[in-house]
Structure 1
Amino acid sequence: MPEPPPRTLRALARRLRLDLTPLRGSRDFRLLLGSSLITMIGSVVTMVAVPYQMKQLTGSYVAVGLVGLAEFVPMVVCGLWGGAIADALDRRRIVISSEVGLCLTSVLLLVNALLPEPQAWVLYVVGALAAGFASVRGPSEQALINRVLPLDQMTAAFAIQGLVRNTAMIAGPAAGGIVVASFGPATSYGIDVVTFLISLVLLVRVRTVARSGEATPASLRSMAEGVRYALRRPDLMGTYLVDIGAMAFAFSNALFPFLVDDLNAPKALGLLYAAGGVGSVVASLTSGWTNHVHRHGLAVILSATAWGVAVAIASVMPNVWLVFLFLAIAGGADMVSGLFRGTIWNQTIPDAYRGRLAGIELLSYSTGPMLGDARAGFMAQLGGTRFSLGAGGLLCVGVVALMATALPRFRGYDARTDEHALAERARRAGAPATA
């Protein structure tokens, strides 16, 4: 078979190459991105340390899985409220205040770990507090990014954010696994505190961004208005429901401390936590092609299905490297799904609703993993680690297929013709929308 000509290879490389236009064009985007990277590295170090410490203290699958479940209620409440205040108050100030709160939660974990007898209940309580602060922070941060960049750069911005987030998901677990195994949880939490302080230095340099319209006062009524807006949009509901379903059944990070024992590779804990991030980084670096895709709903469905299939295959792999490979493939598929979900959100939601809908978005991509860890723990208690991992992947495929069938408007979404995408582009351009 003849080799492709060099010109064809160069064209393919350009099509796949990550689009860096948002980084070149916006100082505030660079600051927000740098803050996110530093915070994520520290937070992921803690993400490895908490289940490790819980396993040390209890030795229980369920206790480890319930760490995620303890975060669920504050995440839901604070995510919705965080979205409401993002549409009412100074978004920059909300991000900074929440970052201070997150830093204090890591201080509490550090103090507990230094006690002669660390308490397991502290991990649940502080985890709930941290989930609340992160849920308040997220909607304002995403609403800021939506305002500092043009709409046509949203897919590229999400790819860059995904690259940064997943670089942290590689470096954080790899470092976190070594740190917690070698020096203990207290050192891990101390590193997290330092990263929050560095992140705050960057955040205070971000400029206040003006709104495109009047602020909506935060209230239960405004929160309900945001939920009603989402319910009226089948395309938005599809992005939320498919992601929650896929993550609730196939996300299984709580199994990793037990899976490395099953694989006789206890030092590979950080490797398994990093696998999804490796796949996501590869997907981000080759994401140039996503700018040419317009059927975003269908792309989300196919990507979520691939995620479930890869997790199911990982469950039957005989050694740690093959498990790592298929978990990495799953992470790449999830990254592609996230790119297209984010594009739908940021290209179709008016700024007046941007904070409240960002709160719902945060719930959609945070709820699933928390429920997934709890589900994984209970299923592992019944049938073992491998059973829980494989059954979760297969259930994910079934749920995504059900959602795709039940949501034809989401499945058929096309950014070139969707009324909400056309209206938002017209709003940004200052012209009336036309079909």
Structure 2
Amino acid sequence: MLRRTPRVCPGTLESVPFRPRIERRSRRESGTASSMSGEAHRSHLIDLRPFRTSPAFTRMWIGSTLAGLGGQLTIVAIMLQMYDLTGSTFAVSMIAVAGLVPMIIAGIYGGMLADAFDRRAVALIAATVTFGSTALLAALTWADLETVWWLYALSIVNSAANSIVLATRQAIVPRLLPRELLAAASALGGITVGIMVMAGPALAGVLVALTGYAWTYTLDVILMTSLFLGLWTLPALRPEGEIVRPGLESLRDGWRFLRRASNIRLQFILDIIAMTFGQPLSLFPAIGAVLLGGGPITTGLLTASVAAGAFASSLFSGRIGGVRHQGLGIQRAILVYGGAIAALGLVLAAAALGWLAPPAVDADTPNVVLIGLACLVLAVSGAADNISSIFRNTMVQAAVPDAIRGRLQGIFIVVVAGGPRLGALYAGTLATLTALWFPPLLGGFIIIALVATLVRASPRFRAYDAENPVP
């Protein structure tokens, strides 16, 4: 294991809780005693102590939530506008494909920047790029000068810059809060994602229909100003420990650390497995059209169910900060996720066999019973995935030394964003060769088998203790 940061005891990588300058500052701002964060949270409702402990974290959370909601408006509006300009679903799908490689590069390089320079400055510069590209998109649309290539180019810039903002912001959080509140902070992040995914697409559709694309992009520009407020009020946050300049040596340094950090490495692998074999979102339009009926409404319900499950699990995550064996928590959450995805396959198989179905299933005659069951198991999958994400994010923030945390957060983001794209490829290809119900059914069982086997073979991961985080 690397021993490169201050306040590290032999044999561990942050055994001694430290209180950096920003944390002391935030405690003075809030006027709370240091014992607040050490008290166990006894309620099942979400733990709000991060808000009371650190006003700086609160401002950044509010800014990130509002900016994330605005970002969802722009993502959906770009897809709708692309379809209006081209009439091609392939052109729409290429928005995500075109942004994949720049997003990966930006996530990794952004992590290197966050480990070499003032993280507040890195986040502000990346946020400025996102703000400028969105403002340019709004201006072009107001002037009726938007084109297909402008939409592609600006969506790529947005995707890349957002990856840097997210990697840097996640590396900042452990400097704002004590270690025992990191799980609660991750749960609050689940609330943010739930709001974004549940409200963002629906609001974007309404805004585009009622006001047009230009006003939708403009609203995103307005909401994004809140992100600057949360970041601008932070003090300087230079990495603590030995600094490696961005470049090949920084990449090699991060790779050497990851090779030694078996707990962090395994949680990345487990998430890739879950997302590759358990992401049926690309099948939802076809499921709504030909299997369950209800058309676009069913597609929207299925998508919203995943987000609703994530939101609910964060809302009732009050006790999650008291879970010490977070490796086992990740395993169990992903096993539940795999079971829920397999259950979705069974529900879809029932629809294919005509069980509990009306005489004819189409957009006007949905299979209400099976749609309800599908939404239920998808809500369970969303909740389990969110719980796994809380534990995984907390592990990265607590166990990784500050000097290398940005690079590991960059890899974390690449895994989280890249896995679902692999999942879309798996589900789409297998469904084309077999049937719509087969990819989730098979994928759920693959997840259960692989995760159980890998964790069983890793006693160090099973023994991971949040009180003594070792990567």
Q: With structure 1 as the length reference, what TM-score do the two structures score?
A: 0.82
Letter of the 2:274 partner, please give it.
Answer: A
| Corresponding position: 1:159 with 2:187 | yes
Equivalent residue of 1:158, what SS? helix
Alignment partner of 1:209 is 2:237: yes
Cα separation, 2, equivalents of 1:102 and 1:415: 35
1:280 aligns to what?
310
Q: Is the 8 A contact 2:67 2:223 kept in 1?
A: yes
Please tell me the residue identity of whatever aligns with 1:140. T
User: d(CA) in 2 for partners of 1:271 and 1:184?
Assistant: 24
Of 246, 254, 258, 2:274 maps to 246
How many pairs were matched up? 408
> What is the CA-CA distance between 1:141 and the residue it aligns to?
0.7
Aligned pair in 2 of structure 1 residues 198, 67: CA closer, same or farther (>3 Å)? same
- Judge conservation of contact 1:44–1:173 (CA < 8 Å) in 2: yes
Classify 1:193/1:253 alpha carbon distance in 2 versus 1 (closer, same or farther; 3 Å): farther
Residue aligning to 1:84: 112
Counterpart position of 2:172: 144
Does the 8 Å CA contact 1:68/1:371 hold for their aligned counterparts? Answer: no
Report the CA distance shift for 1:340/1:311 in structure 2 as closer, same or farther (over 3 A).
same
Of 350, 355, 371, the match for 2:406: 355
CA gap of 1:375–1:128, structure 2 versus 1, over 3 A, is: farther
- Structure 2 residue aligned with 1:9: none
- d(CA) in 2 for partners of 1:166, 1:131: 19
Cα distance between partner residues in 1 of 2:430 and 2:124: 39
**8 Å contact kept, 2:114–2:239:** no
- Please, which runs of 5 or more residues in structure 1 have no aligned partner? 1-12, 422-435
1:42–1:193 contact (8 Å) kept in structure 2? yes
SS in 2 for 1:213: coil
Report the equivalent of 1:129.
Answer: 157
Q: CA deviation at 1:232?
A: 0.9
Retained in 2: the 8 A contact 1:254–1:376?
A: yes
Q: Which residue of 2 aligns with 1:227?
A: 255
SS in 2 for 1:288: coil
Please report how far the alpha carbon of residue 366 of structure 1 lies from its aligned counterpart in structure 2 after TM superposition.
1.6
* Aligned partner letter, 1:274: A
TM-aligned CA deviation for residue 243 of structure 1: 0.8
Deviation at 1:88, TM superposition (A): 0.9
**Residues 20-79 of structure 1, C-alpha deviation per residue, up to 9 Å, x if partnerless?**
11110111101110111011111223343445555664554x655544333221122111
Q: Is the 8 A contact 1:143 1:358 kept in 2?
A: yes
Query: Which of residues 321, 336, 358 in structure 1 aligns to 2:387?
Result: 336
* Residues in 2 aligned to 1:254 and 1:337: alpha-carbon distance in whole angstroms: 22
Q: CA separation in 1, counterparts of 2:380 and 2:324?
A: 23
Aligned match for 1:30, one of 39, 43, 58: 58
Distance 1:122 1:16 in 2: 47
Cα offset, 1:149, TM superposition: 0.8
User: CA offsets, 1:225-274, max 9 Å, x none?
Assistant: 01210121110001111112211222243444444434324245544333
The structure number with the bigger radius of gyration is: 2
Identity, % of aligned pairs? Answer: 32
Gaps of 5+ in 2: 1-40, 349-366
- Offset at residue 327 of structure 1 (A): 1.8
Residue correspondence of structure 1 range 9-88 to structure 2 within 5 A = 14-53=42-81, 57-60=86-89, 64-88=92-116
Q: Secondary structure of the equivalent of 1:307?
A: helix
Aligned to 1:97: 125
Q: Residues 33 and 52 from structure 1, CA distance in 2 versus in 1: closer, same or farther, beyond 3 angstroms?
A: same
* Residue identity opposite 2:381 in structure 1: A
SS of equivalent to 1:287? coil
Q: TM-score, normalised by structure 2?
A: 0.77
- Post-superposition shift, 1:383? 4.7
Paired letter, 2:411: I
Q: Which amino acid aligns with 2:158?
A: A
* CA offset digits 1:277-331 (Å, max 9, x no partner): 2111211121122223222112112211222322333353544443332222111
Deviation at 1:194, TM superposition (A): 2.6
2:21 corresponds to: none
Contact 1:226 1:357 in 2 (8 A): yes
Residue aligned with 2:256, SS: helix
Residues 82, 136 of structure 1: 8 Å contact kept: yes
- Greater shift after overlay, 96-105 or 238-247? 96-105
Q: What is residue 334 of structure 2 aligned with on the other side? A: 304
* Partner Cα distance (2:203, 2:217) in 1: 13
Name the CA distance, whole Å, in 1 between partners of 2:127 and 2:436: 35
Could you report, residue by residue, the CA deviation over 1:188-219 in whole angstroms, capped at 9, with x for unpaired residues?
A: 43432332233324432233235433533222
CA gap of 1:368–1:267, structure 2 versus 1, over 3 A, is same
- Structure 1 contact 253–273 (Cα < 8 Å) conserved: yes
Residues 1:295 and 1:137: Cα distance change in structure 2 (over 3 Å): same
